[in-house]
Structure 1
Amino acid sequence: MTVQTVRDRYENAGETSETATKMRVGTPWSRIAGMVLGVAALLFVVATAFSWPALNSGPHQVPVAVVAPEPVVEQIGGQVAQGLGEDALDLQPVADRAAAEAAIADREVYGAIVLGPDGGEMLTASAASPAIAQLLGQLASSVPAQVGGPLPVTDLAPLPAGDPRGAGLASAVLPLVIAGIVSGAASGLAVRGRGRQLSTLGLLAVAAALVLTSVSQLWLGALEGSFWVNAGVLALGVASVGAVALGLVSRLGLPGVGLTALVMVLLGSPFSGAATGPEMVPVGWGTFGQLLPPGATGTALRSVSWFDGAAWPALLVLVCWLVVGLVLFALPTRRAAAASQ
C-alpha cells in the first residue's frame, strides 16, 4: 500500500466523519426559528392584506350627480351625511337628466339623483359597481316625500342576466395575475435568448387572454361588448404583470417571481376594487389599487364592456407597467456585463 493510498483513505474517512457529525447535529435551531418567524410574518401579511380591506370597506367620496335646486341638494347632502357619513358621497350638481346620463356613461359618476316638477328618479349603473348601485337604491327609498321621494330606480347599465351580482369580473382578477406571473416566470426561466423570451411572453399573454375571455364572456356570460376588445384588455393586463415578472427574473433570478407575486397578489388583488369599486376600499388604498395592474385591468374591462369608454387612464397604467418591465428586462445583466469586459 502506497503512502498516497493511505493519505486518500484518511482524508475520505475524515470527510465521512464530518458528514456524519452534521447529520447527527441536524439543522440549527436558530435557522428553524427564523423559518417559523418568516412563515408567520408572511401569513400575517397575507391575512391582513385580504381581510382588512373587506372588513373596512364602505363608501368614500362616491361621485353621484344631482339634478335639483341648490337648497334641495344641500338637504339631500345632510340626509346622506346622517345616514352614511359625511364623506360617503360626493354630490355633483349637473344641469339636467341628459347631462347626468352622459356623466354615468363616461364613468365620471356612479349614478344620479334627478328631482324635478314631474317627479324624481334615481339613476344607477350596476355594471360600474353592484355594491354602489345597491347603496344608491337604498338611498332612493329613503328620500323624503317633500322632495319627491321615494325615488324609482332606473339602471342605465345593468349587469348581464348570467351574472347579476358581477362576480364573474371580480373573480377574473386573480387568475389574470397568476397568468401574468406564470407567463413572465416561464419566459425568463425556461426559455433562452432575449428575443425568444419576449415572443414567449407575448404568446402566453394572448393565449391567457383568449382563455379568460372565453370563460368569462362566452361560457359564464359575465362580460358584454366586443369579445376581441375585452380580450385585448385582458392581454394587456397579463402582459403588464408578465413583463414585470420577466424583468425582475432577469435581474434577480427566481426571487424576482416572489417579488412580483408580493406586489401583484398581496397588494394588487385585495386593493383592486374589482368587486365593489375603488371608492368602497379604505381611503387612499382604492386609489393606490388603481395604480397597479389588477385594479387598472378591472376598471378598463368594465369601461369597454358596458360604457362608452373612459378606459384610457386605466390602459395608461397598464402600458406604464409594461414599459417598466421591458426596461428592467432590457438592462444588461451582470453576466452579460462581465462577458463584455
Structure 2
Amino acid sequence: MGITDKSGTKTYGMLAVTVIGLAAAVALMLLSFLAPQFHSGPEDLPLGVAGTPSAVDRLASALDQRRPGAFDVTAYGSADDVQEAIRDREVIGGIAVAADGAAVYTASGAGNPYGEVLTGVAAGLEDRGSTVTVEDVAPTADDDPSATGLSVLALPLAFGGMISAAVLSFTLKKRHGLRVFGSLAFSLIAGLVIGAILRFGFGTFDADYWALSGVLALGIAATSVFVLGLESLIGYAGLAFGGVLTLFVSNPLSGIATGWQWLPAPWGEFGQLLPIGAAGNAARSVGFFDGASVAHSVWTLVGWIVVGLGLSGLSVLKNRGDHAPGVDAGNSSVPELERREHTAISVV
C-alpha cells in the first residue's frame, strides 16, 4: 500500500497559492499604475477666459473644435481676474482676448501637461492670425523648472508612511501610545529632511521651508498613523490592507507628477481624498501658489490621522475588554468556576 504524504501535498498547495497570489499582486500593481496613465489627458480642464461675451463664445467654440471636451471654460471680467483665479488654483490656466490680440496665461506650478496644452492653444491662435503673448503666472523654481523633485515625491511619502508603521508594529507590540508617538516623531523628522532636500538640495521649491516640511510631515503621518491603527485593531491584515491602499490606490491616483486634473474623472478628484494625493497637492499649493487652496488638503490629512488614532483607541478598549476581570482570552471564567464547583460536589 502507498502512503499519502498529506503534509507534502499541503505544502505544495500553499506554494502554488503563494506563487499565484504574488503574480496577481504584480499584475494588479502594473494595472493600477498603467490604467490611469493610459486614460489621462485633457478633459474638462478648468480654464479661465476673459473678454467680451461674443469673444468668449467664439474662443470657447474654437477651443472645442480644436480639442473637443478638453476644457471647462469659465468667464471672468478681466485679465487680472483670470490671473488671480490661476493663483488661487481655481483654474489651470487662462486666456484674455482683446481687440489687439490675446494673452495666454499658464501655470507651470500646476503641472507640466497644462502648460504644454496651453502653449499649443497659443500656437493655434497665432495660426488664426492673432497676436499672442504667453505669460507664466505661477512658475516653478529656476533650479528645477520641470519640478522633477515634486514628481518623485509619491515614493518617499508612501515608503515613509508604510515602513514606519510596519517597524513600529513589529517592535512595539501592544504599546499603542508609544507607537503613535514614534510615528508622529518620525513623520516630523522625515518631513523636515525631505523638505530640506527639495528646498535646499535640489531647489525644487522656493517656498517657506517650514510650511513645506509641515505638509510633508502630515502626509507621512496620515499614512503611518492610519496603518498603525489598522494593525492594532485587526493585526497584520491591517498592514496588508494599508499597503494595498497606499501602493495600489493612493499612489497612482495622487496626480503628483501631473496635477490631479490630468487624471480621468472621477479618479483624480478621488485621489485627493487619500493621503499621498492630499500631501502632494498641499506641497504644490505651498510650493508654487503661496498656500492657495491648501486648507482642503491639510484637513484631509488631519482626518486620516484622526481616524488612525480612533482605530488605535478602539484597539485599546477591545484589549481591555478581553482582559477584564472574569474574562480570559474570550472565554468566561464563570462557567469554568461553576464546572469546578460541580466537580467538587460530585467528589464529595
Q: Does 1:304 align with 2:286?
A: yes
Q: Does 1:229 align with 2:223?
A: no
Structure 1 pair 198–83 and aligned structure 2 pair: CA distance change class (3 A): same
2:119 alignment counterpart: 137
Contact 2:100–2:131 (CA<8 Å) still a contact in 1? no
Secondary structure of 1:143's counterpart equals: helix
Among 167, 172, 179, the residue aligned to 2:153: 172
Q: Does 1:184 align with 2:165?
A: yes
1:44 alignment counterpart: 27
Contact 2:102–2:130 (CA<8 Å) still a contact in 1? yes
Structure 1 residue 27: Cα displacement: 4.5
Structure 1 residue runs of 4+, over 6 Å off? none
Contact 2:32–2:249 (CA<8 Å) still a contact in 1? yes
Greater mean alpha carbon deviation, residues 111-120 or residues 172-181: 111-120
- Cα distance in 2 for partners of 1:332, 1:292 equals 23
1:156 alignment counterpart: 137
Q: Unpaired runs of 5+ in structure 2? A: 328-348
1:310-325 equivalent positions in 2, closer than 5 A:
310-325=293-308
1:98 alignment counterpart: 80
Q: TM-score, normalised by structure 1?
A: 0.88
**1:282 alignment partner AA:** P
- Cα distance in 2 for partners of 1:162, 1:265 equals 30
What is the CA deviation profile of residues 260-303 of structure 1, one whole-angstrom value per residue up to 9, with x for unaligned ones?
A: 11111111111111111111111211011111011111111111
What is the CA deviation profile of residues 238-257 of structure 1, one whole-angstrom value per residue up to 9, with x for unaligned ones?
A: 11111111101101222222
Q: Does 1:53 align with 2:36?
A: yes
2:320 alignment counterpart: 336
**1:291 alignment partner AA:** L
- Cα distance in 1 for partners of 2:179, 2:107 equals 42
The number of residue pairs the alignment matches comes to 320
Greater mean alpha carbon deviation, residues 117-126 or residues 311-320: 117-126
Structure 1 residue 199: Cα displacement: 1.4
Contact 2:199–2:207 (CA<8 Å) still a contact in 1? no
Contact 2:153–2:256 (CA<8 Å) still a contact in 1? no
Contact 2:56–2:97 (CA<8 Å) still a contact in 1? no
Structure 1 pair 153–56 and aligned structure 2 pair: CA distance change class (3 A): same
Structure 1 residue 210: Cα displacement: 1.3
RMSD: 2.0
Among 284, 298, 313, the residue aligned to 2:266: 284
**1:117 alignment partner AA:** A
- Cα distance in 1 for partners of 2:188, 2:270 equals 27
Percent sequence identity over aligned pairs: 31
Structure 1 pair 253–261 and aligned structure 2 pair: CA distance change class (3 A): same
Among 10, 27, 30, the residue aligned to 2:13: 30
Secondary structure of 1:222's counterpart equals: coil
Structure 1 residue 37: Cα displacement: 2.5
Structure 1 pair 89–274 and aligned structure 2 pair: CA distance change class (3 A): same
Structure 1 residue 339: Cα displacement: 0.5
1:112 alignment counterpart: 94
Structure 1 residue 336: Cα displacement: 3.0
Structure 1 pair 332–170 and aligned structure 2 pair: CA distance change class (3 A): same
2:223 alignment counterpart: 241
Q: TM-score, normalised by structure 2?
A: 0.86
**1:33 alignment partner AA:** A
- Cα distance in 1 for partners of 2:164, 2:16 equals 34
- Cα distance in 2 for partners of 1:164, 1:177 equals 24
Q: Unpaired runs of 5+ in structure 1? A: 1-17
Q: Does 1:252 align with 2:242?
A: no
- Cα distance in 1 for partners of 2:115, 2:126 equals 19
